[in-house]
A and B are shown apart, each in its own frame.
Chain A
């Protein structure tokens, strides 16, 4: 089925460990986004990529890096995980046309202990 695929679905890390969250979309969308969702805080934008080859910081970029590997893939890396990064992470994509909305992945639930 067409859509946004995120891996892994669940992950537990120890403080200081690193990991990469993967995201891929098969809708030929130009724009891709990474959000984190915390209780009471809603969705906050971490980084986004308006098109292949470009990335920009969002509202809460500290502690994260991203790579837009190609048009399909947009990964999020935690270099040295901290308990404050415990959250649910969502990847989204958009064709830039607005009217069809933003398509979200099913999320990665990350716990840092």
Chain B
């Protein structure tokens, strides 16, 4: 089955700092999703990347897909306390509509 490894597992940064979260797949990526989960709440869809080299932005969050490396990176510029939460990447198995998810990266932003 497709496995998604996220790094780092957790991150604590000072407000205003930039940060990057990585998601690496053990299999070919046909598309990759990024979600944010506030502590104790559901998952909020951030963006989906479908093509190699594709880059998308959502407010101060930018994600890019590197198909050759089977990896996606999510970058937050000038982090704010509102960015705190758990970020999860997800991908569909072999092009099916059955998503699997990484274990998540917990982000804390200190004011």
The complex places the Cα of A98 from the Cα of B99 at a distance, in Å, of 10
Interface size class of B (residues with CB under 8 A): 20 to 34
* Stretch in B11-19, B41-49, B59-67, B70-78 with 4+ CB within 8 Å of A: B41-49
Residues of B within 8 A of A104 (CB): 35, 42-44
Can you name the residue of chain A whose Cβ is closest to the Cβ of B98? A48
Residues of A within 8 A of B103 (CB): 40-42
Residues of B within 8 A of A103 (CB): 45
Please tell me if A50 contacts chain B, counting CB pairs below 8 Å: yes
A42 touches B42 (CB 8 A): no
Please tell me if B85 contacts chain A, counting CB pairs below 8 Å: no
A102 touches B31 (CB 8 A): no
Q: Spell out A's residues near B (CB within 8 Å).
A: 31, 33, 35, 40-43, 45, 48, 50, 58-59, 90, 92, 94, 96, 98-107
Q: Spell out B's residues near A (CB within 8 Å).
A: 1, 31, 33, 35, 41-45, 48, 50, 88, 90, 92, 97-104
